[in-house]
Amino acid sequence: MSDKTNQQWGGRFNEPTDAFVARFTASVEFDQRMYLQDIRGSIAHAKMLTKAGVLTEAERDDIIRGLGEIRVEIERGEFEWSVALEDVHMNIEAALTKKIGITGKKLHTGRSRNDQVATDIRLYLRDEIDLILSEITRLQQGMLSVAEREADTIMPGFTHLQTAQPVTFGHHLMAWFEMLSRDFSRFEDCRERANIMPLGAAALAGTTYPIQRDFTCELLEFNAPAENSLDAVSDRDFAIEFCSASSILLMHLTRMSEELVLWTSAQFDFINLPDRFCTGSSIMPQKKNPDVPELVRGKSGRVFGHLMSLLTLMKSQPLAYNKDNQEDKEPLFDAIDTVKGCLRAFADMVPALEAKEENMREAALRGFSTATDLADYLVRKGMPFRDAHEVVGKSVAYGIEQSKDLGEMSLEELVQFSDIIEQDVFDVLTLEGSVAARDHIGGTAPNQVRAAVKRAQQKLDQRG
Protein backbone atom coordinates (compact mmCIF):
# COMPACT_ATOMS: atom_id res chain seq x y z
CA MET A 1 0.00 0.00 0.00
CA SER A 2 1.04 3.60 -0.53
CA ASP A 3 1.35 5.71 2.59
CA LYS A 4 -1.30 8.19 1.52
CA THR A 5 -4.09 8.94 -0.91
CA ASN A 6 -4.12 11.99 -3.16
CA GLN A 7 -5.11 14.79 -0.81
CA GLN A 8 -6.83 16.75 -3.57
CA TRP A 9 -9.65 14.21 -3.77
CA GLY A 10 -9.12 11.74 -0.92
CA GLY A 11 -11.39 13.24 1.74
CA ARG A 12 -13.99 10.48 1.65
CA PHE A 13 -11.48 7.59 1.55
CA ASN A 14 -10.66 5.53 4.66
CA GLU A 15 -7.52 3.79 3.42
CA PRO A 16 -4.61 4.78 1.22
CA THR A 17 -4.50 3.95 -2.47
CA ASP A 18 -2.83 0.68 -3.35
CA ALA A 19 0.69 1.42 -4.61
CA PHE A 20 0.17 -0.51 -7.82
CA VAL A 21 -3.20 1.15 -8.43
CA ALA A 22 -1.58 4.55 -7.94
CA ARG A 23 0.97 3.76 -10.64
CA PHE A 24 -1.58 2.01 -12.86
CA THR A 25 -4.01 4.92 -12.88
CA ALA A 26 -1.43 7.72 -13.11
CA SER A 27 -0.95 9.54 -16.40
CA VAL A 28 1.70 12.09 -15.47
CA GLU A 29 4.47 10.20 -17.27
CA PHE A 30 2.86 10.98 -20.62
CA ASP A 31 0.49 13.90 -20.06
CA GLN A 32 3.18 16.18 -18.59
CA ARG A 33 3.91 17.25 -22.16
CA MET A 34 0.75 19.38 -21.87
CA TYR A 35 2.20 21.52 -19.08
CA LEU A 36 2.29 24.65 -21.22
CA GLN A 37 -1.36 24.32 -22.19
CA ASP A 38 -2.35 23.46 -18.62
CA ILE A 39 -0.64 26.59 -17.29
CA ARG A 40 -2.13 28.74 -20.02
CA GLY A 41 -5.62 27.41 -19.27
CA SER A 42 -5.14 27.99 -15.55
CA ILE A 43 -4.01 31.59 -16.07
CA ALA A 44 -7.07 32.29 -18.20
CA HIS A 45 -9.29 30.61 -15.60
CA ALA A 46 -7.78 32.73 -12.82
CA LYS A 47 -8.37 35.91 -14.79
CA MET A 48 -11.98 34.89 -15.39
CA LEU A 49 -12.53 34.08 -11.69
CA THR A 50 -11.23 37.54 -10.83
CA LYS A 51 -13.57 39.16 -13.35
CA ALA A 52 -16.43 37.14 -11.83
CA GLY A 53 -15.51 38.30 -8.31
CA VAL A 54 -14.41 34.88 -7.05
CA LEU A 55 -10.73 35.85 -6.72
CA THR A 56 -9.19 39.17 -5.76
CA GLU A 57 -6.72 40.85 -8.08
CA ALA A 58 -3.95 40.12 -5.58
CA GLU A 59 -4.86 36.43 -5.55
CA ARG A 60 -4.95 36.40 -9.35
CA ASP A 61 -1.51 37.99 -9.52
CA ASP A 62 -0.08 35.47 -7.03
CA ILE A 63 -1.49 32.60 -9.09
CA ILE A 64 -0.10 33.96 -12.36
CA ARG A 65 3.31 34.62 -10.79
CA GLY A 66 3.43 31.14 -9.26
CA LEU A 67 2.41 29.44 -12.50
CA GLY A 68 5.07 31.41 -14.34
CA GLU A 69 7.72 30.19 -11.93
CA ILE A 70 6.52 26.61 -12.33
CA ARG A 71 6.75 26.91 -16.09
CA VAL A 72 10.36 28.05 -15.83
CA GLU A 73 11.18 25.14 -13.50
CA ILE A 74 9.64 22.64 -15.91
CA GLU A 75 11.48 24.06 -18.90
CA ARG A 76 14.77 23.98 -16.98
CA GLY A 77 14.16 20.36 -15.97
CA GLU A 78 14.03 21.29 -12.29
CA PHE A 79 10.39 20.37 -11.64
CA GLU A 80 9.76 17.16 -9.68
CA TRP A 81 6.90 15.19 -11.16
CA SER A 82 5.06 12.87 -8.76
CA VAL A 83 3.16 9.74 -9.76
CA ALA A 84 1.26 10.04 -6.47
CA LEU A 85 -0.29 13.25 -7.82
CA GLU A 86 -1.49 11.28 -10.85
CA ASP A 87 -1.42 13.81 -13.69
CA VAL A 88 -0.01 17.06 -15.01
CA HIS A 89 -2.92 19.05 -13.57
CA MET A 90 -2.56 17.85 -9.97
CA ASN A 91 1.21 18.16 -10.07
CA ILE A 92 1.07 21.78 -11.16
CA GLU A 93 -1.72 22.66 -8.73
CA ALA A 94 0.11 21.06 -5.81
CA ALA A 95 3.33 22.89 -6.72
CA LEU A 96 1.39 26.15 -6.97
CA THR A 97 -0.15 25.69 -3.51
CA LYS A 98 3.27 24.93 -2.10
CA LYS A 99 4.58 28.16 -3.62
CA ILE A 100 1.80 30.63 -2.80
CA GLY A 101 -0.13 28.95 -0.01
CA ILE A 102 -3.90 28.69 0.35
CA THR A 103 -4.57 30.88 -2.69
CA GLY A 104 -3.31 28.01 -4.83
CA LYS A 105 -6.20 25.89 -3.59
CA LYS A 106 -8.68 28.48 -4.88
CA LEU A 107 -7.60 28.09 -8.50
CA HIS A 108 -9.73 24.99 -9.05
CA THR A 109 -12.92 26.81 -8.14
CA GLY A 110 -15.56 26.38 -10.83
CA ARG A 111 -13.77 23.72 -12.81
CA SER A 112 -13.05 19.99 -12.75
CA ARG A 113 -10.22 17.87 -14.01
CA ASN A 114 -12.77 16.68 -16.56
CA ASP A 115 -13.16 20.00 -18.33
CA GLN A 116 -9.54 20.94 -17.54
CA VAL A 117 -8.05 17.95 -19.35
CA ALA A 118 -10.48 18.30 -22.25
CA THR A 119 -9.37 21.91 -22.61
CA ASP A 120 -5.67 21.05 -22.36
CA ILE A 121 -5.93 18.38 -25.05
CA ARG A 122 -7.67 20.74 -27.43
CA LEU A 123 -5.13 23.50 -26.80
CA TYR A 124 -2.27 21.05 -27.27
CA LEU A 125 -3.71 19.51 -30.43
CA ARG A 126 -4.42 22.94 -31.86
CA ASP A 127 -0.78 23.93 -31.40
CA GLU A 128 0.46 20.68 -32.92
CA ILE A 129 -1.86 20.94 -35.92
CA ASP A 130 -0.38 24.37 -36.61
CA LEU A 131 3.09 22.81 -36.69
CA ILE A 132 1.87 20.00 -38.94
CA LEU A 133 0.27 22.46 -41.36
CA SER A 134 3.54 24.36 -41.51
CA GLU A 135 5.48 21.18 -42.24
CA ILE A 136 3.06 20.09 -44.98
CA THR A 137 3.60 23.48 -46.60
CA ARG A 138 7.38 23.06 -46.36
CA LEU A 139 7.15 19.65 -48.03
CA GLN A 140 4.89 21.01 -50.75
CA GLN A 141 7.31 23.87 -51.36
CA GLY A 142 10.07 21.33 -51.89
CA MET A 143 7.89 19.41 -54.34
CA LEU A 144 7.25 22.56 -56.35
CA SER A 145 10.96 23.23 -56.68
CA VAL A 146 11.58 19.73 -58.05
CA ALA A 147 8.49 19.82 -60.29
CA GLU A 148 9.55 23.08 -61.89
CA ARG A 149 13.10 21.85 -62.38
CA GLU A 150 11.93 18.58 -63.95
CA ALA A 151 8.99 19.91 -65.99
CA ASP A 152 10.59 18.58 -69.22
CA THR A 153 12.01 15.34 -67.83
CA ILE A 154 10.15 12.45 -69.46
CA MET A 155 9.44 9.23 -67.61
CA PRO A 156 6.99 6.37 -68.07
CA GLY A 157 3.60 6.77 -66.47
CA PHE A 158 2.17 3.54 -65.07
CA THR A 159 -1.12 1.81 -64.51
CA HIS A 160 -1.03 -1.62 -62.85
CA LEU A 161 2.72 -0.86 -62.55
CA GLN A 162 2.90 -1.47 -66.30
CA THR A 163 4.10 1.19 -68.74
CA ALA A 164 1.05 3.17 -69.85
CA GLN A 165 1.87 6.59 -71.33
CA PRO A 166 4.81 8.98 -71.09
CA VAL A 167 4.54 11.73 -68.49
CA THR A 168 7.01 14.20 -67.05
CA PHE A 169 8.66 13.81 -63.68
CA GLY A 170 7.44 17.29 -62.81
CA HIS A 171 3.86 16.22 -63.53
CA HIS A 172 4.32 13.21 -61.26
CA LEU A 173 5.57 15.43 -58.42
CA MET A 174 2.53 17.66 -58.85
CA ALA A 175 0.32 14.63 -58.29
CA TRP A 176 2.00 14.25 -54.91
CA PHE A 177 1.43 17.95 -54.30
CA GLU A 178 -2.32 17.56 -54.88
CA MET A 179 -2.54 14.71 -52.36
CA LEU A 180 -0.93 16.90 -49.73
CA SER A 181 -3.21 19.83 -50.55
CA ARG A 182 -6.20 17.71 -49.58
CA ASP A 183 -4.37 16.61 -46.43
CA PHE A 184 -3.73 20.24 -45.55
CA SER A 185 -7.42 20.99 -45.94
CA ARG A 186 -8.39 18.03 -43.72
CA PHE A 187 -6.12 19.20 -40.91
CA GLU A 188 -7.49 22.72 -41.24
CA ASP A 189 -11.03 21.35 -40.87
CA CYS A 190 -9.95 19.21 -37.93
CA ARG A 191 -8.47 22.26 -36.23
CA GLU A 192 -11.77 24.13 -36.56
CA ARG A 193 -13.69 21.40 -34.76
CA ALA A 194 -10.98 20.96 -32.14
CA ASN A 195 -11.01 24.68 -31.40
CA ILE A 196 -14.11 24.59 -29.17
CA MET A 197 -13.66 25.32 -25.45
CA PRO A 198 -14.84 22.74 -22.88
CA LEU A 199 -13.73 24.85 -19.88
CA GLY A 200 -16.74 25.77 -17.77
CA ALA A 201 -18.44 22.42 -18.19
CA ALA A 202 -16.84 21.41 -14.86
CA ALA A 203 -17.39 17.74 -14.00
CA LEU A 204 -20.34 17.28 -16.36
CA ALA A 205 -23.19 19.69 -15.52
CA GLY A 206 -21.57 23.10 -15.37
CA THR A 207 -20.94 25.08 -12.18
CA THR A 208 -22.91 27.23 -9.76
CA TYR A 209 -20.26 29.96 -9.78
CA PRO A 210 -20.89 33.05 -11.97
CA ILE A 211 -18.30 32.10 -14.55
CA GLN A 212 -17.94 34.05 -17.78
CA ARG A 213 -17.12 31.50 -20.44
CA ASP A 214 -17.03 33.96 -23.33
CA PHE A 215 -14.26 35.85 -21.56
CA THR A 216 -12.19 32.70 -21.00
CA CYS A 217 -12.87 31.64 -24.57
CA GLU A 218 -11.49 34.91 -25.86
CA LEU A 219 -8.38 34.68 -23.67
CA LEU A 220 -7.62 31.17 -24.94
CA GLU A 221 -8.46 32.04 -28.56
CA PHE A 222 -11.10 29.34 -28.97
CA ASN A 223 -13.76 29.82 -31.62
CA ALA A 224 -16.59 29.33 -29.14
CA PRO A 225 -17.42 27.66 -25.82
CA ALA A 226 -18.88 24.17 -26.03
CA GLU A 227 -22.67 24.33 -26.08
CA ASN A 228 -23.37 21.28 -23.91
CA SER A 229 -21.51 20.43 -20.70
CA LEU A 230 -22.08 16.68 -20.97
CA ASP A 231 -20.68 16.57 -24.48
CA ALA A 232 -17.85 18.99 -23.63
CA VAL A 233 -16.16 16.73 -21.07
CA SER A 234 -16.77 13.41 -22.83
CA ASP A 235 -16.13 14.33 -26.47
CA ARG A 236 -13.01 12.91 -28.06
CA ASP A 237 -14.12 12.74 -31.67
CA PHE A 238 -11.78 15.62 -32.49
CA ALA A 239 -8.89 13.32 -31.55
CA ILE A 240 -10.37 10.54 -33.68
CA GLU A 241 -10.71 12.99 -36.55
CA PHE A 242 -7.08 14.01 -36.14
CA CYS A 243 -5.97 10.37 -36.31
CA SER A 244 -8.17 9.88 -39.36
CA ALA A 245 -6.58 12.85 -41.14
CA SER A 246 -3.17 11.58 -40.02
CA SER A 247 -3.90 8.11 -41.38
CA ILE A 248 -4.85 9.50 -44.78
CA LEU A 249 -1.71 11.65 -44.80
CA LEU A 250 0.46 8.64 -43.90
CA MET A 251 -1.31 6.59 -46.57
CA HIS A 252 -0.29 9.24 -49.10
CA LEU A 253 3.28 9.25 -47.82
CA THR A 254 3.41 5.45 -48.15
CA ARG A 255 2.47 5.74 -51.81
CA MET A 256 5.26 8.24 -52.33
CA SER A 257 7.62 6.06 -50.29
CA GLU A 258 6.85 2.99 -52.37
CA GLU A 259 7.65 4.87 -55.56
CA LEU A 260 10.88 6.23 -54.12
CA VAL A 261 11.91 2.72 -53.07
CA LEU A 262 11.15 1.39 -56.57
CA TRP A 263 12.83 4.30 -58.33
CA THR A 264 16.06 3.89 -56.37
CA SER A 265 16.28 0.17 -57.10
CA ALA A 266 18.72 -1.14 -59.70
CA GLN A 267 15.77 -2.38 -61.75
CA PHE A 268 14.35 1.16 -62.17
CA ASP A 269 17.30 3.44 -61.36
CA PHE A 270 15.19 6.56 -61.99
CA ILE A 271 16.50 8.75 -59.18
CA ASN A 272 19.41 9.22 -56.85
CA LEU A 273 18.64 9.58 -53.17
CA PRO A 274 21.48 11.40 -51.40
CA ASP A 275 23.56 9.30 -49.02
CA ARG A 276 22.37 11.23 -45.96
CA PHE A 277 18.91 9.70 -46.37
CA CYS A 278 20.18 6.13 -46.79
CA THR A 279 22.04 3.45 -44.84
CA GLY A 280 24.26 0.54 -45.78
CA SER A 281 24.35 -3.16 -45.07
CA SER A 282 26.42 -4.82 -42.35
CA ILE A 283 27.31 -7.68 -44.70
CA MET A 284 26.80 -6.46 -48.29
CA PRO A 285 29.17 -3.55 -48.96
CA GLN A 286 27.47 -2.53 -52.22
CA LYS A 287 24.11 -1.78 -50.61
CA LYS A 288 22.57 1.69 -50.35
CA ASN A 289 19.22 1.24 -48.69
CA PRO A 290 16.41 3.84 -48.93
CA ASP A 291 15.68 3.59 -45.22
CA VAL A 292 13.85 6.92 -44.85
CA PRO A 293 11.00 6.13 -47.27
CA GLU A 294 10.94 2.53 -46.06
CA LEU A 295 10.57 3.60 -42.44
CA VAL A 296 7.88 6.15 -43.28
CA ARG A 297 6.07 3.39 -45.15
CA GLY A 298 6.30 1.22 -42.04
CA LYS A 299 5.29 3.92 -39.57
CA SER A 300 1.90 4.25 -41.26
CA GLY A 301 0.83 1.10 -39.42
CA ARG A 302 1.14 2.64 -35.98
CA VAL A 303 -0.95 5.68 -36.99
CA PHE A 304 -3.62 3.47 -38.56
CA GLY A 305 -3.58 1.49 -35.30
CA HIS A 306 -4.03 4.63 -33.20
CA LEU A 307 -7.14 5.49 -35.21
CA MET A 308 -8.61 2.08 -34.46
CA SER A 309 -7.53 2.38 -30.83
CA LEU A 310 -9.41 5.64 -30.33
CA LEU A 311 -12.48 4.42 -32.18
CA THR A 312 -12.54 1.34 -29.96
CA LEU A 313 -11.89 3.44 -26.85
CA MET A 314 -14.94 5.61 -27.47
CA LYS A 315 -17.21 2.83 -28.70
CA SER A 316 -20.25 2.41 -26.40
CA GLN A 317 -19.08 4.91 -23.77
CA PRO A 318 -22.04 6.34 -21.84
CA LEU A 319 -22.12 10.06 -21.06
CA ALA A 320 -20.29 11.78 -19.55
CA TYR A 321 -16.61 11.34 -18.61
CA ASN A 322 -15.19 7.85 -17.97
CA LYS A 323 -11.71 6.83 -16.86
CA ASP A 324 -11.37 5.05 -20.19
CA ASN A 325 -10.62 8.45 -21.67
CA GLN A 326 -7.26 8.58 -19.98
CA GLU A 327 -6.25 6.14 -22.72
CA ASP A 328 -6.85 8.77 -25.39
CA LYS A 329 -3.56 10.56 -24.87
CA GLU A 330 -0.87 8.03 -25.67
CA PRO A 331 -2.24 7.09 -29.11
CA LEU A 332 -2.95 10.74 -29.88
CA PHE A 333 0.50 11.89 -28.76
CA ASP A 334 2.26 9.13 -30.67
CA ALA A 335 0.23 9.89 -33.80
CA ILE A 336 1.27 13.54 -33.52
CA ASP A 337 4.94 12.64 -33.05
CA THR A 338 4.89 10.14 -35.91
CA VAL A 339 3.22 12.51 -38.36
CA LYS A 340 5.62 15.32 -37.51
CA GLY A 341 8.64 13.03 -37.86
CA CYS A 342 7.53 11.60 -41.20
CA LEU A 343 6.74 15.04 -42.60
CA ARG A 344 10.09 16.39 -41.48
CA ALA A 345 11.93 13.49 -43.10
CA PHE A 346 10.09 13.99 -46.39
CA ALA A 347 10.37 17.79 -46.34
CA ASP A 348 14.14 17.43 -45.94
CA MET A 349 14.48 14.63 -48.50
CA VAL A 350 12.23 15.56 -51.45
CA PRO A 351 14.09 18.74 -52.54
CA ALA A 352 17.28 16.66 -52.69
CA LEU A 353 15.90 14.11 -55.18
CA GLU A 354 18.02 13.89 -58.33
CA ALA A 355 16.36 12.60 -61.49
CA LYS A 356 18.33 10.30 -63.79
CA GLU A 357 16.90 11.71 -67.00
CA GLU A 358 18.44 9.26 -69.46
CA ASN A 359 17.28 6.23 -67.48
CA MET A 360 13.77 7.63 -67.22
CA ARG A 361 13.65 8.39 -70.92
CA GLU A 362 14.98 4.98 -71.89
CA ALA A 363 12.33 3.32 -69.71
CA ALA A 364 9.60 5.43 -71.32
CA LEU A 365 10.74 4.14 -74.73
CA ARG A 366 9.99 0.59 -73.62
CA GLY A 367 6.48 -0.79 -73.28
CA PHE A 368 4.84 0.99 -76.25
CA SER A 369 3.97 4.06 -74.19
CA THR A 370 2.84 6.02 -77.27
CA ALA A 371 0.26 3.42 -78.35
CA THR A 372 -2.66 5.63 -77.29
CA ASP A 373 -1.13 8.51 -79.26
CA LEU A 374 -1.21 6.35 -82.38
CA ALA A 375 -4.86 5.47 -81.74
CA ASP A 376 -5.71 9.15 -81.28
CA TYR A 377 -3.85 9.91 -84.53
CA LEU A 378 -5.99 7.39 -86.43
CA VAL A 379 -9.19 8.80 -84.92
CA ARG A 380 -8.22 12.28 -86.05
CA LYS A 381 -7.79 10.79 -89.55
CA GLY A 382 -11.42 9.62 -89.45
CA MET A 383 -11.16 6.06 -88.09
CA PRO A 384 -13.65 5.02 -85.36
CA PHE A 385 -11.87 4.65 -82.01
CA ARG A 386 -12.65 0.94 -81.60
CA ASP A 387 -11.19 0.20 -85.03
CA ALA A 388 -8.17 2.35 -84.17
CA HIS A 389 -7.77 0.39 -80.93
CA GLU A 390 -7.63 -2.86 -82.89
CA VAL A 391 -5.17 -1.49 -85.44
CA VAL A 392 -2.81 -0.28 -82.73
CA GLY A 393 -3.13 -3.58 -80.89
CA LYS A 394 -1.96 -5.41 -83.99
CA SER A 395 0.92 -3.01 -84.49
CA VAL A 396 2.00 -3.56 -80.87
CA ALA A 397 1.88 -7.33 -81.39
CA TYR A 398 4.10 -6.86 -84.42
CA GLY A 399 6.46 -4.69 -82.39
CA ILE A 400 6.75 -7.37 -79.72
CA GLU A 401 7.66 -9.93 -82.39
CA GLN A 402 10.23 -7.61 -83.96
CA SER A 403 11.50 -6.16 -80.66
CA LYS A 404 10.68 -2.67 -81.93
CA ASP A 405 8.85 0.18 -80.28
CA LEU A 406 6.24 2.01 -82.38
CA GLY A 407 8.55 4.98 -82.84
CA GLU A 408 11.29 2.68 -84.14
CA MET A 409 9.17 1.24 -86.94
CA SER A 410 9.47 2.54 -90.47
CA LEU A 411 6.53 4.16 -92.28
CA GLU A 412 6.30 1.06 -94.49
CA GLU A 413 5.91 -1.15 -91.43
CA LEU A 414 3.19 1.03 -89.94
CA VAL A 415 1.23 1.40 -93.17
CA GLN A 416 0.65 -2.37 -93.32
CA PHE A 417 -1.76 -1.91 -90.42
CA SER A 418 -3.62 1.05 -91.92
CA ASP A 419 -3.15 2.89 -95.20
CA ILE A 420 -4.24 6.22 -93.67
CA ILE A 421 -0.97 6.40 -91.70
CA GLU A 422 1.37 8.99 -93.17
CA GLN A 423 4.76 10.52 -92.43
CA ASP A 424 3.28 12.92 -89.86
CA VAL A 425 2.58 9.97 -87.58
CA PHE A 426 6.11 10.30 -86.22
CA ASP A 427 5.19 13.67 -84.72
CA VAL A 428 2.99 11.84 -82.20
CA LEU A 429 5.11 8.72 -81.74
CA THR A 430 7.99 10.63 -80.14
CA LEU A 431 8.00 10.96 -76.36
CA GLU A 432 8.22 14.74 -76.61
CA GLY A 433 5.30 14.87 -79.01
CA SER A 434 3.24 12.64 -76.76
CA VAL A 435 3.65 14.72 -73.59
CA ALA A 436 3.34 18.02 -75.46
CA ALA A 437 0.00 16.91 -76.91
CA ARG A 438 -1.54 16.76 -73.40
CA ASP A 439 -1.75 20.54 -73.42
CA HIS A 440 -4.64 21.32 -71.08
CA ILE A 441 -5.14 22.03 -67.38
CA GLY A 442 -4.13 18.89 -65.51
CA GLY A 443 -2.19 17.54 -68.49
CA THR A 444 1.45 16.49 -68.53
CA ALA A 445 2.65 18.95 -71.18
CA PRO A 446 5.71 20.78 -69.81
CA ASN A 447 4.11 24.21 -70.18
CA GLN A 448 1.05 22.95 -68.27
CA VAL A 449 3.30 21.60 -65.52
CA ARG A 450 4.95 25.01 -65.18
CA ALA A 451 1.55 26.69 -65.11
CA ALA A 452 0.40 24.24 -62.41
CA VAL A 453 3.51 25.02 -60.38
CA LYS A 454 2.78 28.74 -60.65
CA ARG A 455 -0.85 28.28 -59.51
CA ALA A 456 0.27 26.05 -56.67
CA GLN A 457 2.88 28.55 -55.53
CA GLN A 458 0.21 31.23 -55.37
CA LYS A 459 -1.88 28.97 -53.13
CA LEU A 460 1.07 28.40 -50.80
CA ASP A 461 1.78 32.12 -50.69
CA GLN A 462 -1.83 32.79 -49.69
CA ARG A 463 -1.47 30.53 -46.66
CA GLY A 464 0.76 33.18 -45.18
Of the candidates 172, 229, 281, 418, the residue annotated as catalytic is: 281
Of the candidates 160, 403, 410, 440, the residue annotated as catalytic is: 160
Whole-number Å distance between alpha carbons of 152 and 173: 12
- ∠ at Cα 327 (322, 332), nearest 5°? 125
Asked if 403 is an active-site residue, the reply is no
CA distances from 110 to 42, 47, 124, 206 (A): 12, 13, 22, 8
Answer for the pair 100, 66: CB distance below 8 angstroms, yes or no.
yes
Asked if 281 is an active-site residue, the reply is yes
Residues annotated as catalytic are 160, 281
